[in-house]
Structure formats: structure tokens, C-alpha cells
Structure 1
Amino acid sequence: MVLNNIENLLEKYENGESTLQEEAQLKDYFSQETVAPHLEHYKAVFGYFLANQQEAFTKDLPLNTKKQFNFKWLSVAAVAVLMFGIYFSRPVDPTITEEDRLAYNEAKSYLELVSKTLNKGTAQINYLGAFNKAGTHVDYLKEMENPIGRIFKN
């Protein structure tokens, strides 16, 4: 009767339906020296569980507690950045001297002279467009001279 009960408990254990008390009965049965021959392979499994139950972790683990963020220093840093930004973003008084105005007007006159000269040069180059047109007409005439080449193209 005891062997039949152990086999039923093993079936429940394998299906994942056993309770802790039933698993304790199985561990007690397989910790004995005399076990039914057809259940010998279970002895190693439950012996492993018993051996692991006796093990204990003895190494000390340091607990790293999370430090709280100090918002006081954050507000001090924000005020410092704000003050720095306000101080250096002040508008600078533009004091333009008469010497600066003369230099500006002189540079402006030189740039106008360069602009006029470039405009004259581009006006003289406009006739090159006529040469491009003439070149395309000449290419067409070359094609007319070679009628056999036109036949083979098609």
C-alpha cells in the first residue's frame, strides 16, 4: 500500500499537482536506504534537493543604498548659470566712430567698382551663346553629309 501511495505521489509531482506536504513525504521516502528498485532513479533527484536545502550562501553582499539627489545644489547651479547668461548677454553699446564710417564707405565704393567691371565683362561674353547655336547647326550639316550613317542608325 505504501509503494502504491508513493507512485501516486510521484505522478502528482511530475504533473505539478503535489502539495508541499506530499513533496516532503517523497523526500522522506527517497532519503531512506531501501527504495523500490523501479524507483531508484528518483533517489538521485530527491537526494539532490535535500543536499541543496542544506547549502547556505555565506558571502556578505554590500548594500548600496540609493543616495538622494540634493536639489539645493541644483538650484544653486541654476542661479549661477542664469546670472552668467544675463551678465554676458547684455547688449553692447555700438559706438561707431567717424573712422569706422570712412572705412565702410571706402569699402563700399571699391565693391561697387568691382561690380560694374564684372557686369561689363558678362555683357561682352553674351555673344558666346550665338557660337553655341552655330555649333549645333554645323553638327546637323555633318549628319547630312553622311547618309549611309543615318541609315544604319535607324
Structure 2
Amino acid sequence: MESDKIEQLLEKYFEGETTTAQEKQLQDYFSGDVPAHLEQYKPMFGYFSLAREQQFEQTVPLQSGKRKRVAWLSVAASVVVLVGVGTFAYFNQTQPQDLGTYDSPEEAFRETQKALALLSSHVNTGVESVQYMQTFEATKDRVFIDHH
């Protein structure tokens, strides 16, 4: 009869509905002799009780000085980038340029076609790169899954 109770507890356990007391009861039950049809669960509950008893005893050194250094490096890098962008903007100020207005509609149409063709070629290059990356990702996933 106890076997039926344990089987009900196992069902609740695999559905995630057991309390810690019920899980302890399962661990205690599987630490002794069990019927043959429940033998397959014995290693699992034996592992859980063994893992619970293990303690991590190594000390982990804290590296607070390194974090401060990284924070200062980040601030310094940001300042260098801002100074660089500001210098570039200051020395490359130019007068407003001709915005490309055309007197003839035909000439405007031709220039628009050129601009759209250029845009299309760059978009196509980007799409090809994305397809290459998707192929790479699929191959990488297949390689790493097969080796585990």
C-alpha cells in the first residue's frame, strides 16, 4: 500500500505540486530498498540528497578595485569619443550646400532613379550578408549540438 502512496507522490512531484516535506519523504523512501518498478527513480533522489549535503568551501576573492578601474576607463573612453566628435564637427563646418533641386522634371527623375538604384544595391548587399549569417548560425548550432 505504501507503494501506491509513493507513486501518487511521484506523480505530484513531476507535476511540481509537492511540498518540501513530501520531497523529503520521497528521498527517504528511495534511500532504502524499493520495488523493482520504482528502481529507476532511486538514482535521481539519491543524487538530490547527495547534492544537498555538499558544501562549497572555497573562498571567492572580491575584485572591487578592478571594477573601479573599469568604470574610470569607461568614463575616459567616453570623454575621448566626445572630444573627437566635437573636434571633427568644429573643423568640418561648411556652408549649406545645394540641396539638389532641379529645374527639369526629367533631370530630377533620372537623379532619383540613380539614387534608388544605389540604395537598392546596398540593401541587396545587406540581405546577402544576413543570409550568410543565417547559414553560419545554422551550421554553428548543428556543430555544437552534435558534440554535446
TM normalised by structure 2 equals: 0.43
TM normalised by structure 1 equals: 0.41
Structure ID, larger Rg: 1
